[in-house]
Amino acid sequence: MENAVRDFGVHIDVERNLSYHTRRSYLSDLRQFSAFLLKNGINKPADIDQTIIRAFLAALYRGRVKKVTISRKVASLRAFFAFLLREGRIGYNPAQMVQAPKIDKYLPVFLSVDEMFSLLGVKFGSDVSGLRDRAIIEFLYSAGVRVGELTGMNVSDVDFSNSLVKVRGKGRKERIVPVGRPALSALRAYIDGRPGGSENTTDDYTGLPLFMNKFGTRLTARSVRRILDKYINLGGIGRKISPHTLRHTFATHLMDAGADLRVIQELLGHESLSTTQKYTSVSVTQLMDVYDRSHPRAGGKPNHEQDERNNHSSGKA
């Protein structure tokens, strides 16, 4: 199993070109599965059948692992055994017919326009950290990028003259995203204000990092989450959100304003339109607005014709 998992890791990195986070999750799932096999005296992929896999999933259910996590582990096992089958190491894919749990669907969490403006209206410091923090929040909302995409960006990825930015998404795919003027202004103020300006050194990402920590190295996703937590409290939002919430907010506000769904799909970097639909669910505010304007008894404009018909019917009765 150890050799098979190692070879599979090379396969998903080189051949399938999966994102770093997907590769890490798949390999973590397989290491957990391998540990389960060792406890049951199994160490050869050819000895694994559907019964063993179902027993593994049953142990996950007993451990109250979330359905979405179990579903991903099933996908990991299917991909792993499909690779082994292609390589001729096993005779069939034992995970192919294993049923993944039905994932509960949740509406994405996002900030209202008022909440977003409250967050952006927080008093940021005038030092380098304050300039950086403002630029991060402005950019997350303006471009709708993932936090991993944000931390992986370089200064050279920003085209200030054309208000565009190059984003490296999942699977190392690149896309061009427009950026609003407030975000660009905040970025420019931060870059010009940090020590050395644009003369800082590059790192392993083969470029000058766009966002840096106090040590002059690339900012991490965890640091971005801590920064956002700080300003959420200062903005009086009253609930805990993640950087991904600003991505939901970006998409939802575009959707509410009438943006085309396929344009939002392109901006978010989604391959499937159904994924975009999940991220851009109609907000409660929009639902209430439509309800108030459309329903005769919702406090909106009364339907006089319907009232006259009702009165006429009552008179006949």
Active-site residue flag, 226? no
Q: Which of 89, 170, 188, 278 is catalytic?
A: 170
Active-site entry in 146, 168, 194, 218: 146
- The catalytically annotated residue of 54, 166, 175, 244 is 244
295 given a catalytic annotation: no
Q: What is the DSSP string of 205-252?
A: TSS-BSSB-TTSSBPPHHHHHHHHHHHHHHTT--S---HHHHHHHHHH
Q: Examine the residue annotation and report whether 146 is marked as an active-site residue of this protein.
A: yes
Identified catalytic residue from 78, 168, 194, 247: 247
Paired sense of beta strands 158-159 and 174-178, if any: unpaired
Alpha helices (H) in 100-242, listed in sequence order = 113-120, 128-143, 147-151, 181-193, 221-234
Amino acid at 87: E
Neighbours of 89 (CB within 10 A): 15
270 classed as catalytic: yes
Choosing from 132, 194, 253, 270, which is the catalytic residue? Answer: 270
CB 174 within 8 A of CB 166: yes
Burial label for 183, CB within 10 Å (0-12, 13-18, 19+), is buried
> Among all residues, which ones are annotated catalytic?
146, 170, 244, 247, 270, 279
